[in-house]
Amino acid sequence: MSSFPINLGARDDDDEGLFSRNVDGQLIRLDKPTRADYEEIVTVKVDGQEVRVPKAEPLKDAQGNVIQDINGRTTPRYTTIYDAVSKLRKQHSVPVVCHQPHMRPVAVCRVCMVQIANKGRVERKLLPACQHQVKDGMEIFSMDDSGANGQRVKRSIKIVTELLTADALKLAPEPAPAEELAPFNELQQLKDRVELTDSRFKLPYFRRDKTTRPFEAPPRPKPIDNSSPVFIVDHSACILCDRCVRGCDEVKKNNVIARMGKGRNARIAFDLDDPMFESSCVQCGECMVSCPTSAITFKPVGVVQVEIKGDAKPIPTEDLRRDPDFAEIPPKFLAWQKGLVLRRNVKPNEILCEEGDPGHSAFIIREGTLNIEPRGVGPIPRTKEDFIVGEMACLSGAPRTARVRAATEGEIWEIRRNVLDRMMRSPNQRERFDQLYRDRALATAVTQAKTELFAGLRDQSLEFLKSNISLVRVNPGQTMFRQGDPADCMYIVRLGNVRVEIATAGKQETFYYVGPGKLIGELGLLGLQRDDAKNKSREQITRELIADFNAGVDRKGKRTGGCSALDHVELARIDQATFRELVRMEPIVLERLVDVAVGRLSEAGRTGMRDFLEQGLFQAQSLLALDLTRCTRCDECTKACIQQHGTDSHGQHITRLLREGLRFGEYLVATSCRSCRDAYCMIGCPVDAIHRGKHQQIVIEDHCIGCGLCARNCPYGNISMEPNLYDMIGMETASSGHEMRARLKAAVCDLCDAEGHLDKPQPRCVYACPHDAAHRYTGEQLLELVNNS
Amino acid sequence: MSIDSVASRESPAFFRNEIVPALHRIQAEYGYLNRNALEEYSKNTGIPLYRLHEVASYFPFFHFKEPPAVTVKICQNMACHMSGATHILAELEPFAKENAPHVHIEGVSCLGRCDAAPIVCVSAAHKPAAGASTNGLAGQVLSNAHGDESHGAEEEFYLSPANTTELREAIQACLTGKTKHLQSLGGRHGSGYPSPDWLIDPYKDGLPKYQAIRNLLEARDGPIREASRSLIEQLQIPESDVPQFLQTLKKNSKAQQEKSPKWVEAAFKEFDCRPANGPIALRGLGGAGVPASQKWRDVREAVINLRERDLDDRAFILVNGDESEPGTFKDRELLLHYPHLVIEGVILAGIISDATEGFIYIRHEYPEQIEACEKAIKEAERMGVCGMNAYLLGKPFPVSVFVSPGGYICGEQSALINALEGHRGEPRNLPPQPQTNGLEQQPTLVSNVETYAWAPYILVNGGAQYCSLGNNGWGGRRFFSVSGDVNRPGVYEVPMGLTLRELLHGDQYCQGISGTGKLKAFAPSGPSGGFIPAILPSPRDPAKNKAWIALAARRGFPVDAQQLDILDMELELDLWRALSPTGMLGAGLIVYDDTRDMAEQSVNSLEFFRNESCGKCVPCRLGSQKLTNLGENVLDHVIDSQSWHNEIFPLVKELVQVMSDSSICGLGRSFQSPISTLTDYFSSDLERHLLHPTSTQ
């Protein structure tokens, strides 16, 4: 009847999929997946090959971290067709453009389309693999299927590719490094994948050069936004994949970019369609790195050149791109920042880092052997098989826990923290890192708690422990458990600080905080009460416990206090069963634990603890405290600070301290960097320009692009974004005619020793004080002073 | 009704959209979306600017710049296109240039008044003289909300100018503020509706309104009330509180909610009643034809399922009054004259599926309809059948109007839900279906205005009675809107199965083809159903086609006839699905006489779809542009016949197939019909625009 292939007669606007109803004919509601769905196995066929996948997988955040609560519980998300196909064919999954593993699927590009069937019945429409969940018995046909279904899918993907590449596949506009970026254009890669020579929609018939129809309005022009000194936005190369939108609003939570307009006039916009540089955009670069085409690129003057120390050589972007370990990092990211990955040829006995050093890089072993030398333990050799060392300090921002020394000649690739972050976003790499990190983190957790609890244990017992404890992460502010909750485990704090609160007579009183290497939850695990120490002697308690233990009595322990995370906390969790088994193997552990517990019970509260925690002073490794009994407000400290720093960093005088702040006891804690243990400012810097110096102080490097993320992350307002009068990022360019530089640059106290020339920092603010009122203390020291005065 | 009342109305507790009312409020105050106001709102609420902008820039209703003194929007689709909208544009352009920048002319998509084509909407942004007549939506904002002090108010007039001079005078009146004499157009010159032969209103003979609801409640509560009579007497519960008391009793009785109790099945039985040879009585009248009982049951089951698991069990009933498809304007009359039937349909659905709230989603170009519905809702609230104090129902069931900021695609059910939620009105990836995961992921029923409006008739008079209203063995009645080349365009309630001949030529209907009087083509569903030729070739295998054989028997032509006079077709969805090449029969029927160039009409349809594509998915956004460009180039006589046949047409076929296969919603599928019917049935019209090799003479 019709020369057209589809029978519209079967048309039904309310399409229901083949899997929409259950056996009773009831429409299936899409509920939030549950953790039980991890266990449920779904069997699907991909191009005739059977694959078994769990119905749901744990949700990951944009960094690739599995999102967990205190009990290690994860949030499930449904497994998609894309996940299933990727499981079967790691390298050659369904092609995708708008989908990224670390982003919420939106299914707008329609490149990942597949055909599904149920018991031989074929779904009328093709479905997006990135978004569609797998159902048991689903038959999936990708473009690689050789039959009619595969043909249909392939034709669809090819036409969509032709549409996408007709106008949007183009070189980046001047002055972007167009040639360098061209091979990374994902539209080009897609074109190669579907073996398309050229888009037929480029033919003149499909173009409209003039308007002749009465109401014909040409599409609104898609201009180039050149306002930013660093980035270029070419709307005509944009395919509206929403990757920049999700990168900005969901990954970075900067909330600037959205789609605007409708249909052919739809494009992306910053705020109220303002030029990028005039919007609230902080120039973090996430949108540029997320963009699969040449729609958002960078200017050569915007290239971040990371300063290289020593005789290391930066590895060219092209080489990295070809290396499987780096293949999944957006090449634009590597091209934009030079010197993020350095090749070091090491000689035997060469030291890569010392214990206690600030660890802002990690070492990938390409050749040779490195020895890890923790204090008091024999060297642990690591080779290419172990892939990487030093990643723990790099990821957590904590100091190095051991010296790393080359055992043989070798080749090491040193990577910066932001590269490591990017690497971890790739699910394949992530799996590898997670395993490594977990094993190593648990090992250090046991080592940390060793002196107190596990010293002298047999290797066999330690191994048992390591393989039976689990790693748990808690976010700042998150409650771990409440007072009175049933207690079935205890934790070793590996990283961060835990706030313990004990309610007495109905009123809440902050009692103490617990830092790395210490235990929490042991009282509950042992089934002790808070007043046990008052009523009974230590021996009595130990006797009772051992008796109960041997008799197998469940003491039904309750939490004696509530615990919550003060910062990013990582814990090793030891459950009841593991503990019992350990005690059976090593009875001494029980006695030691009782010692710890009794010590805890008899600990006295310290004054000012609530303020101490609320003001975040426990974090401080070097805070500037002004003794108010001596300080005359002469401001010599501020003047000295300005004088000391000069105009080197910003081209103008800037103070790194404000003689204002909250009081703690008789002291005023000035607004100046405290060199926090868990430095929030260091999280997520897009160009990795914020580091720790030799004294654990925070140092801003010159390639700061002024995005302000560190300043926003600092809870104490100790980083300020100041106008940068220096031409830091580039120089005058012929094409744009205006001066390019980062508008702002972060300024922070670096203890007057950014370069690390001194053995001990000599901050000028302290030495300039004529009244001996200004001092640098750790948080603990200040707490002691206040308690002893 | 005024924009301001929409904006400031505190909608009831179950669901509230923040962003769209806020945008309405700002635009009502400033006349446009003022940057400072948006920034302040963003600061106060913590809603980022990009959220406000992505929503506001999506809808044609909102603008970011101070509008010119007079904006002239000329509808450019189908009937308006046919009746000279382009001439008006051409003739008005010099005048607009003269008066620039105070007068701005633009072509817009269908304004929903095709029976009075060509339609022009003239809006005046200036402050009119005190005491000026305030016809139209924005005019009332002026009088109701802002008085004479308003600086940003807008007056809007829908006009059907007989010639350009008339329109020019209207614009001048707006420029000078003398708009008193301008009459905005509601229905066709405000007359003729509702027709006395329309049967949809079961209450027109004096039966009290909302009787269907009372009947349904009696069926639901009657048995329990009987069982609890002694308890009610003992507790001395006043009559008006009994329903609520019974609801409480039911809720507290631990018994599981019955999946399909008798009273629900009884109602569904009426909906599912069948005539002698037709499908069931009540089906979705927005075009898809899904059985109403099916959707209502889906929502009911979804609600019970949630309740059994102790989860959030809110559910919503939405009326799709977006009606933005060119040629379709029958809901306009239903909403205006029978708002109580629509509201009753919503409440009936609400009772059966145990939903929590109803919304009537109406396009902003229907101000009179919005007002009529708001008024009827107030009345219904007084009668205790809806609102927070719906005492007859025994539980709150608010119903309200949501004014759509506009766009054809918002008629797609998931796009409508997104718009209602304060997102861009873009369709969602289905499944899950709205019946289980709709508004705020809760069970949601979305149906056409007319589907709800027929429900009271069927429940009052019975399904069998409704079925008996059909012709030629088909059941029931439905509304069509007819426009284009007919003597009497308009909205008609017709018996299902009426022949097209009777509709187009009948005295009580369209009274014949206008123009040359000869039918060339017939669009059975706005631009989406393509163009059906006056003489349609018979189906491929006529002897095996049951629908064909039955039609042949009824209309008295031999089964082996080679062709069918389209006027012999009976108006019924299933028949069209079986016999029409595009398988569609919507409510918007457009008639073309034999002077019309179908290639030109086809490109007009493509332009409409291209303009209304939301742009979310690639095949529709880019494919629509490529196809429309091609069509426009064809009309420009720049494409040679050989390239068309060898190179272009095969690619076009591939493209429309992929757009159907891969687009998120049905819009991607709509491009096929105008193209395939053109090339299949009106190829001579197409060939006329193609370049042919000049013969060697």
Which of A319-328, A384-393, B80-89 tops mean pLDDT? B80-89
Chain A hits for B305, CB-CB cut-off 8 Å, are: 26, 29
With a cut of 50, say whether residue B142 has pLDDT above it. Answer: no
pLDDT band per the 50, 70, 90 thresholds, residue B600: very high
CB contact under 8 A, A263 and B656: no
Of residues A17, A160, A259, nearest to B619 (C-beta): A160
Q: Which residue has the higher pLDDT, A18 or A287?
A: A287
Q: What whole-number distance in Å separates Cα of residue A185 and Cα of residue A42? A: 35
Interface of A with B in 347-366 (CB under 8 A): none
Instruction: Note the pLDDT tens digit of each residue in B501-552.
Output: 999 999 999 999 999 999 999 999 999 999 999 999 998 888 899 999 999 9
Of residues B624, B632, B662, nearest to A156 (C-beta): B662
Chain B hits for A273, CB-CB cut-off 8 Å, are: 53, 57, 64
CB contact under 8 A, A163 and B611: no
pLDDT band per the 50, 70, 90 thresholds, residue B252: low
Q: Does A535 touch chain B (CB under 8 A)?
A: no
Name the amino acid, one letter, at B421.
E
pLDDT at A280: 87
pLDDT, chain A, mean: 85
Q: What whole-number distance in Å separates Cα of residue B143 and Cα of residue A747? A: 57
Q: If you average pLDDT over residues B609-627, what whole number do you get?
A: 96
Of residues B286, B433, B658, nearest to A160 (C-beta): B658
pLDDT band per the 50, 70, 90 thresholds, residue A324: confident
DSSP track, A265-319: G-EEEETTTB-GGGSS----SHHHHH-SSSSEEE-GGG-EE----TT-EEPPHHH
* Ranges A306-320, A614-628, A763-777, B284-298: which has the least confidence: A306-320
With a cut of 70, say whether residue B474 has pLDDT above it. Answer: yes
Cis peptide before A175 (omega within 30 of 0): yes
pLDDT at A385: 86
Residue in B658, B663, B676, B680 to test binding to A, most A beta-carbons within 10 Å: B658
Residue in A125, A213, A252, A282 to test binding to B, most B beta-carbons within 10 Å: A213
* Ranges A536-540, A623-627, B474-478: which has the least confidence: A536-540
Q: Does A322 touch chain B (CB under 8 A)?
A: no
With a cut of 90, say whether residue A92 has pLDDT above it. Answer: no
CB contact under 8 A, A263 and B613: yes
Q: A780 vs A3, A618, A672, A785, B260, CA distance in Å?
A: 83, 7, 17, 9, 69
pLDDT at B288: 83
Instruction: Note the pLDDT tens digit of each residue in A656-698.
Output: 999 989 999 899 999 999 999 888 888 778 888 888 888 889 9
With a cut of 50, say whether residue A735 has pLDDT above it. Answer: no
**Mapped to the 3 state alphabet, what secondary structure does B483-549 carry?**
EECECCCEEEEEECCCEHHHHHHCCCCCCCECCCCCEEEEECECECCCCEECEEECCCCHHHCHHHH
pLDDT at A62: 65
pLDDT band per the 50, 70, 90 thresholds, residue B143: very low
Interface of A with B in 156-195 (CB under 8 A): 156, 159-160, 163-164, 166
pLDDT at B417: 96
Interface of A with B in 633-652 (CB under 8 A): none
pLDDT band per the 50, 70, 90 thresholds, residue A593: confident
- Name the residue of chain A whose CA is nearest to B42's CA: A271
Q: If you average pLDDT over residues A313-319, what whole number do you get?
A: 86
Residue in A3, A4, A211 to test binding to B, most B beta-carbons within 10 Å: A4
Q: Does A653 touch chain B (CB under 8 A)?
A: no
Q: What whole-number distance in Å separates Cα of residue A430 and Cα of residue A440? A: 15
Instruction: Note the pLDDT tens digit of each residue in A143-193.
Output: 999 999 999 999 999 999 999 999 999 999 988 889 888 988 999 999 999
Residue in B285, B622, B630, B641 to test binding to A, most A beta-carbons within 10 Å: B622
With a cut of 90, say whether residue B483 has pLDDT above it. Answer: yes
CB contact under 8 A, A8 and B581: yes
Instruction: Note the pLDDT tens digit of each residue in B210-222.
Output: 999 999 999 998 8
pLDDT at A380: 85
Query: By the 8 A CB rule, do A40 and A55 touch?
Result: yes
Chain A hits for B48, CB-CB cut-off 8 Å, are: 249, 255-256
DSSP track, A51-113: EEEESEEE-B-TTSPBPB-TTS-B-EEEPBHHHHHHHH-SSS----SS--TTS-----S--SE
Q: Which residue has the higher pLDDT, B319 or A68?
A: B319
pLDDT band per the 50, 70, 90 thresholds, residue A108: very high
Of residues A4, A27, A270, nearest to B676 (C-beta): A4
pTM: 0.83
Q: If you average pLDDT over residues A340-359, what whole number do you get?
A: 88
Q: If you average pLDDT over residues B255-275, what whole number do you get?
A: 86
pLDDT at B189: 46
Chain B hits for A164, CB-CB cut-off 8 Å, are: 618, 622
pLDDT at B153: 57
Chain A hits for B287, CB-CB cut-off 8 Å, are: 13
With a cut of 60, say whether residue A650 has pLDDT above it. Answer: yes
Instruction: Note the pLDDT tens digit of each residue in A499-525.
Output: 888 877 656 576 788 888 888 888 888
Chain B hits for A219, CB-CB cut-off 8 Å, are: 625
pLDDT at B487: 94
With a cut of 70, say whether residue A740 has pLDDT above it. Answer: no
pLDDT at A507: 61
Q: Does A25 touch chain B (CB under 8 A)?
A: no
pLDDT at B13: 55
Chain A hits for B435, CB-CB cut-off 8 Å, are: 27
With a cut of 90, say whether residue B554 has pLDDT above it. Answer: yes
Q: What percent of chain B has pLDDT over 70?
A: 92
Q: A755 vs A415, A418, A699, A752, CA distance in Å?
A: 20, 21, 9, 9
Q: What whole-number distance in Å separates Cα of residue B665 and Cα of residue B417? A: 14
Q: Does A212 touch chain B (CB under 8 A)?
A: yes
Q: What percent of chain B has pLDDT over 90?
A: 70
Q: Does A90 touch chain B (CB under 8 A)?
A: no
CA angle at A153 for the pair A204 and A138, rounded to the nearest 5°: 160
User: DSSP assignment, residue B646?
Assistant: I
Q: Does A293 touch chain B (CB under 8 A)?
A: no
Query: By the 8 A CB rule, do B411 and B365 touch?
Result: no
Q: What whole-number distance in Å separates Cα of residue B348 and Cα of residue B215? A: 10
CB contact under 8 A, A17 and B431: yes
With a cut of 50, say whether residue A66 has pLDDT above it. Answer: yes
| Residues 6+ away with beta carbon under 8 Å from A526 | A545, A555, A557, A593, A594, A597
With a cut of 90, say whether residue B42 has pLDDT above it. Answer: yes
Query: By the 8 A CB rule, do A488 and A582 touch?
Result: no
CB contact under 8 A, A4 and B633: no
Chain A hits for B613, CB-CB cut-off 8 Å, are: 262-264
Q: B529 vs A627, B325, B515, B523, B532, CA distance in Å?
A: 84, 11, 23, 6, 8
Q: For chains A and B, count residue pairs whose Cβ atoms are closer than 8 Å.
A: 254
pLDDT band per the 50, 70, 90 thresholds, residue A4: low
Kindly state the helix (H) or strand (E) to which residue B262 belongs, with its residue range. helix B262-271
pLDDT at B424: 95
pLDDT at B495: 96
Distance linking the first and last C-alpha atoms of chain B = 70
pLDDT, chain B, mean: 88
Q: Does A332 touch chain B (CB under 8 A)?
A: no
Q: If you average pLDDT over residues A333-346, what whole number do you get?
A: 86
Chain A hits for B611, CB-CB cut-off 8 Å, are: 263-264
With a cut of 70, say whether residue B191 has pLDDT above it. Answer: no
Chain A hits for B625, CB-CB cut-off 8 Å, are: 219, 264
What is the dihedral angle through the alpha carbons of A75, A78, A81, A83, rounded to the nearest 10 degrees?
A: 10
Of residues B89, B284, B636, nearest to A215 (C-beta): B89
CB contact under 8 A, B58 and A262: yes
Of residues B610, B618, B655, nearest to A110 (C-beta): B618
- Name the residue of chain A whose CA is nearest to B619's CA: A160
Of residues B35, B658, B666, nearest to A156 (C-beta): B658
Name the amino acid, one letter, at A175.
P
Instruction: Note the pLDDT tens digit of each residue in B192-203.
Output: 788 889 999 999
- Name the residue of chain B whose CA is nearest to A26's CA: B298
Look at residues B600, B612, B549, B561 and name the one whose alpha carbon lies nearest to residue B408.
B612
User: DSSP assignment, residue A26?
Assistant: P
Q: How far is A20 from chain B (nearest CA, A)?
A: 7
pLDDT at A43: 95
With a cut of 70, say whether residue A449 has pLDDT above it. Answer: no
